[in-house]
Structure 1
Amino acid sequence: MSKFERIAPAFAGERQTCASVLMVEPTRFGFNSETAATNRFSSASAAGADTAARARREFHGLAECLERAGVAVHLLPDPAACPSPDAVFPNNWVSFHSDGMLVTYPMAAPNRRTERRLDALDAMLVDRGFEMSHHVDLTAHEGEGRFLEGTGSLVLDRPRRRAYACLSQRTDLSVIARFDALTGYSTLTFAATGADGFPLYHTNVMMSLGARFAVVCVESIAPHQRRLLLDDLEAGGRVVIEITRGQMMSFAGNILELEDQHGRPLVAMSLGALASLRPDQRRALETLSGELVASPIPTIEAVGGGGVRCMLAELHLPRS
């Protein structure tokens, strides 16, 4: 358990992007049968004997790509004892905030709960000069069968203290209310589905927010809720870039704006996501943000059902 106290934070403002990320190196990556029922992006047929080795190569390729672009990558090893095949997706269990707040989240799959290694995380971050002052721990909701899977479930507008969430079995309305009460956020919820009409398991597969843009799969949103969401995004000063459901399935919504060590913005995404974008969409992202930094992660996407954004937990913590 974490040594941090469970207290409500005092908010002093936060930027949308940061230049440091946490990544968890996969050792047991593979198809997760415990999450497959709700994740229509993952496929058992894409797995093979060399799946874990391919995933490790893709992981390190992404980490190196980000570092070349000027992003500081902090690696947390995944111990062989951890039974989760999805440990490469740390954003589902933890988020970090510029006021020193750390939030841990309730996850639906029992085998994923072993990913929360707070002692190891604390030791690594303190050693790297990060400061953590308070802990909002939502994990007790797992005992009630209610879940909220981090910045998979929640897409954060950090400066406005606003969040967006499409409801699903992994994104519970009552836990969102608790998150809002403890963090000072206000969350706009809506319904979103794939082409088969099944609820999207995470919000971050259909939406990404940068400082100046919002990539959104509008056609996945319930028709009567689209205008409300778009108006709210535009009220935050963002230009909406629409993607199709087909592009969403290529993880074009699962992207993340970061910045390099000089404060210049960039957008991290997979090579598959980049290839799915039209030229006008690429130009819009480059104009509203900066360089599009892409790395191939086909195994992680096809078997794990998550993309580049899922692999990155932004380190918005203050430094000593």
Structure 2
Amino acid sequence: MSGPIKGVLLFLSIAQFVLGMLVNVFIVLVNGSGWVKSKKISLSDFIITNLALSRIVQLWILLFDCVKDIFFRSLFNNGALIQVIDIFWTFTNHLSIWLGTCLGVFYCLKIANFSHPTFLWLKWRVARVVVWMLLGGLLFSCSDAMSLILQFKMYYVLQRANDLGNVTEHFRELRNEYEVIHVLGTLWNLPPLIVCSASYILLILSLGKHTRQMQQSRTSTSDPSSEAHKKAIKMVLSFFFLLLFYFLAYLLTSSHYFLRGTGMTKLISEVSTMFYPACHSWILILGNSKLKQTFVELLWCKSGHRKPGSKERFSP
């Protein structure tokens, strides 16, 4: 890999890391301070805060992985430290995806309107449904992380046989099985992807139904319910497409187990995966009135101006 390419990839990874850290730390500080002051926190703010915390961990691990692959590939190729980081990364990665999915389901059940008994049952118990989803996502994340232990055991067997030069037919079969298990581990992300797709479809259908009702009653379609639908659709849709992009980049990162000589593809994919935890958090701020207002006030304070419409305060 040439030096200029390394420099560009390192610059992109550091830039995404800094932007992602700024926005996620901001979310944690704003919601955390509000939680401490009021001694309570809404379910949506709780999910967003934990989502930001998980992404802070993700960004640190991704930055470490990029720096390792660029400068210290041979030094940190194997070892217990890398295995611990892999387990920690797998857990936080899966948990982050489930937290984003739970947020989409929360918006869907809060805003969408359907007369189906099942949907009404879920809507009336939205807090309980989302909490159970969070617990289920936590269980899935733990299971996904623990499944790496089997892969590590298989890897040790393969590494030892390879060092001894004992490349038998059984060795080849075990290596193929190891590679398939490693890549199929990405399928743990399919359930939240499907649930997110369902939430988006339901919001679209609910908005279409509400718009038709407004047109039949000759009422303006810019009512608060329509605006809430559109806002929720933008939030869920942005998460869905970013998650899809992230999922594809993650698949490319794992492709080097099948395709030899794809070190460059793996590194580019690792840099691309940082776009999701950094960019989606900015979208969360724009879609959350409290976070957006605090962010705008912070910008006005940093620029040395008062917020428009605010009154001048004098200290005694």
Report the TM-score, using the length of structure 1 for normalisation: 0.23
Larger Rg: 2
Calculate the TM-score normalised by the size of structure 2: 0.23
Is the helix fraction higher in 1 or 2?
2
Q: Which has the higher strand share?
A: 1
